[in-house]
Amino acid sequence: MLTLPRFEWSAPRALEEALALLSPEHGRTLLVAGGTDAVPNLKHRLHEPERVVHLARVEELRYVRATPEALELGPLVTLSELAAHPLVRRDHPSLARAAGLVAGPQLRNMGTLGGNLCLDTRCTYYNQTFFWREALGFCLKKDGAHCHVVPQGRRCVAAHSSDLGPVLIVLGAEVEIAGPRGRRTLAVDEFFVPDGIHNNVLAPDEMVIRVAIPARARGLRTGYQKLRPRGAIDFPMLSVAFAARVNGVCEEARLVVSALAAKPKVIGGLEKLVRGRPLDDAAIEAVAGAASQQCRPQTNVPYDQDYRHAMVPVFVKRAIRDALEGGA
Ligand SMILES: Cc1cc2nc3c(=O)[nH]c(=O)nc-3n(C[C@H](O)[C@H](O)[C@H](O)COP(=O)(O)OP(=O)(O)OC[C@H]3O[C@@H](n4cnc5c(N)ncnc54)[C@H](O)[C@@H]3O)c2cc1C
Ligand code: SF4
């Protein structure tokens, strides 16, 4: 049986109270929202904090608000709420779809937007019990000195595995962060960094307090596709988010492929391939080919690297067709 380690537990009721409880030192405190990822990780001794700060009672972080500028989402909105919310379904169907494809229903009822965005990266050599990891000599991400995926590498390449991250990037969403040094807002794309040990810009005493999807994203055609072994529960082994503005011809397009390395990959060069042209079969093939060339899956998750690579163009085409057919 996997037990929890010992830690102090706090359940603040206000944002400022929660922020005051966070330590500036890495690893000393751990925020928990729905707990669907943090609790298993605590049991695996992947996190060993002195204090857990449980956010669930901070009601001011639970909201869905439409303003003229943006659809604003609080980090405590659950994945089930996002998947079912009429505004999200109407204006950003790919976000509702991605939320509805996370894990299974019980986990979506507990799991939150903030927890999903800040989800720890995943790896075959990391998401294991302490006993398993100790037998292997641990790894760079926790307690060890080497990476088992890229043995000569100096950086962890564990997989970004959040379903919502790629969708929020193609929608041009922003994330607001609060901490003792004040507040800052940045694009979701800039929130992630290519380091699997800690793949976002949050300092240990900061937290996500708002996600805003700009009003201009409402007119986009969007699609989300996810490859996973069991459709009922699993994390993505490949995910693709696409968004385009189409008025006869394609005016702008954005494509993100993820679950390959620590940061979602924004596919470059799309402007040249599709801008000012209809999104016809030839254009879709060209985009799928570009994605295939730019993506290099690692052996960081327990699924075949070549298969995941071969599926990149397949899932890119599906996501684009979803977008054009008005699906999600
Ligand atoms: C069997 C299983 C299958 C899963 N499948 C998927 C899947 O397919 N796709 C997927 O995306 N996820 C999956 N998950 C992971 C998880 O359920 C979801 O990502 C969920 O949205 C996490 O939200 P949470 O509130 O439970 O996060 P928590 O577990 O509470 O926290 C996760 C991380 O986010 C941090 N955090 C939480 N809120 C904030 C905040 N406001 N600011 C800063 N940091 C914060 C925590 O400190 C922690 O590091 C799965 C989990 C399990 C157990
Ligand atoms: S990618 Fe390497 S360092 Fe990162 S968790 Fe996996 S084995 Fe560890």
Ligand 2 atom with the shortest distance to the CA of 121? 5
Residue of 294, 277, 274, 275 lying closest to 286 (CA atoms):
274
Task: Please tell me the distance between residue 262's alpha carbon and the centre of ligand 2 in angstroms.
Answer: 10
Q: Is 119 in the pocket of ligand 1 (CB under 6 A)?
A: yes
Angle at 109 between CA 23 and CA 161, to 5 degrees: 60
Q: Is 56 in the pocket of ligand 1 (CB under 6 A)?
A: no
Task: Please tell me the distance between residue 220's alpha carbon and the centre of ligand 2 in angstroms.
Answer: 36
Q: Is 112 in the pocket of ligand 1 (CB under 6 A)?
A: yes
- For residue 327, the model assigns a pLDDT of 55
pLDDT at 114 over 90: yes
Ligand 2 atom with the shortest distance to the CA of 126? 5
Could you report the per-residue pLDDT of 20-51, keeping only the tens digit for each? 999 999 999 999 999 999 999 999 999 999 99
User: Which percentage of the chain shows pLDDT scores above 70?
Assistant: 99
Placement of tokens 């060339």 in the chain: 293
Task: Please tell me the distance between residue 44's alpha carbon and the centre of ligand 2 in angstroms.
Answer: 15
Cβ neighbours of residue 233 under 8 Å, at least 6 residues apart? 103, 104, 107
290's torsion region: left (phi>0), alpha (psi -120 to 50) or beta?
A: alpha
Q: How far is CA 213 from the centre of its chain?
A: 15
Q: Is 123 in the pocket of ligand 2 (CB under 6 A)?
A: yes
Q: Are 264 and 257 contacting, i.e. CB atoms less than 8 angstroms apart?
A: yes
Could you report the per-residue pLDDT of 45-80, keeping only the tens digit for each? 999 999 999 999 999 999 999 999 999 999 999 999
User: Which percentage of the chain shows pLDDT scores above 90?
Assistant: 97
Q: Among 157, 161, 305, which residue has the most ligand 2 atoms within 8 Å of its CB, making it the best to mutate? A: 157
> DSSP class of residue 139?
B
Ligand nearest to the CA of 156: 2
Task: Please tell me the distance between residue 129's alpha carbon and the centre of ligand 2 in angstroms.
Answer: 14
- CA 290 – CA 10 distance, rounded (Å): 48
Ligand nearest to the CA of 113: 1
Ligand 2 atom with the shortest distance to the CA of 140? 3
**What confidence tier does 328 reach under pLDDT thresholds 50, 70, 90?**
low
- For residue 242, the model assigns a pLDDT of 98
pLDDT at 324 over 80: yes
Mean pLDDT of 188-211: 98
Beta strands (DSSP E) in the chain are: 8-10, 29-32, 51-54, 64-66, 70-73, 174-179, 182-187, 207-214, 221-227, 238-247, 249-258, 265-266
What one-character-per-residue DSSP string does 43-91 give?
A: HTTS---SEEEE-TT-GGG--EEE-SSEEEE-TT-BHHHHHH-HHHHHH
**What confidence tier does 326 reach under pLDDT thresholds 50, 70, 90?**
confident
- CA 172 – CA 112 distance, rounded (Å): 20
Q: Is 126 in the pocket of ligand 2 (CB under 6 A)?
A: yes
- For residue 141, the model assigns a pLDDT of 97
Looking from the CA of 286 toward its CB, the CA atoms found within 13 Å total 15
Task: Please tell me the distance between residue 9's alpha carbon and the centre of ligand 2 in angstroms.
Answer: 29
The single-letter code of the amino acid at 157 is V
What is the rounded average pLDDT for all residues in the chain? 97
The protein residue whose alpha carbon is closest to atom 4 in ligand 2 is 156
Mean pLDDT of 294-319: 96
Cβ neighbours of residue 189 under 8 Å, at least 6 residues apart? 169, 264, 266
Task: Please tell me the distance between residue 126's alpha carbon and the centre of ligand 1 in angstroms.
Answer: 16
Mean pLDDT of 182-206: 98
Could you report the per-residue pLDDT of 115-171, keeping only the tens digit for each? 999 999 999 999 999 999 999 999 999 999 999 999 998 899 999 999 999 999 999
Q: Is 85 in the pocket of ligand 2 (CB under 6 A)?
A: no
Task: Please tell me the distance between residue 197's alpha carbon and the centre of ligand 2 in angstroms.
Answer: 8
Q: Are 63 and 209 contacting, i.e. CB atoms less than 8 angstroms apart?
A: no
